[in-house]
Amino acid sequence: MPDRRATPASPIGRPAARQETLDRISEGSLYTETEASFQAPERRADLIFAYNQTPPDQSSRREALLRRIFASVGERPLLNTPFSAAFGSRTYIGDDFYGNANISFVDDVDIRIGDGVMIAPNVTLTTTGHPIHPSLREDFRRFSLPIVLEDRVWIGANAVILPGVRIGYGSVVGAGAVVSRDIPPMVVAVGTPARVLRPITEADLEERGGLRH
């Protein structure tokens, strides 16, 4: 007969240990893969795989899957395949979202995307980074800080949005930019690291597009 006596839970599995890890995550402090392993059921890997395999003409099924993958999804979402997400369940998407192919949502903590946001191909939104010193990177030790894209933001192709960044209303992030600091509303930001190139003004109503100086 198997021994059915209760065995002590591992420290990682105890509610107090879990809460301590959650507190450190919310503070932006370091934590390890093992410490955060209890969060695994919140990952939506199977649903993401199903979405990426669903034909484009099955729009109703695709939207239904998006609503199961993400924490919330507004009206009229459009997300091209493929895409990836660390969890999916930590990303919040507003109305009229357009995401092109190969977006990576590294949502170990919240990514919040407003209304009317457009994201070009091959963009990475990563809430997570790792320590510089290699001795601190054992067990995939990391820190996580939330990302916010306010309404009407446009992120250009191959851009990277790093942990803790907030991009203000209506701003444009140029192709290939690496955004490591907050971007104010209604500006164009370009470069590595990204810097504000110029404001968006009424003159832009006359422009076809591009990053005029």
Q: What pairs with residue 95 in β-bridges?
A: none
d(CA 11, CA 111): 29
Q: How far apart are CA 17 and CA 11, in angstroms?
A: 6
d(Cα 127, Cα 179) in Å, to the nearest integer?
12
Residues catalogued as catalytic: 130
Interacting residues of 16 by C-beta distance below 8 A, sequence separation 6+:
none
- Vertex 142, ends 33 and 189: CA angle to 5°? 135
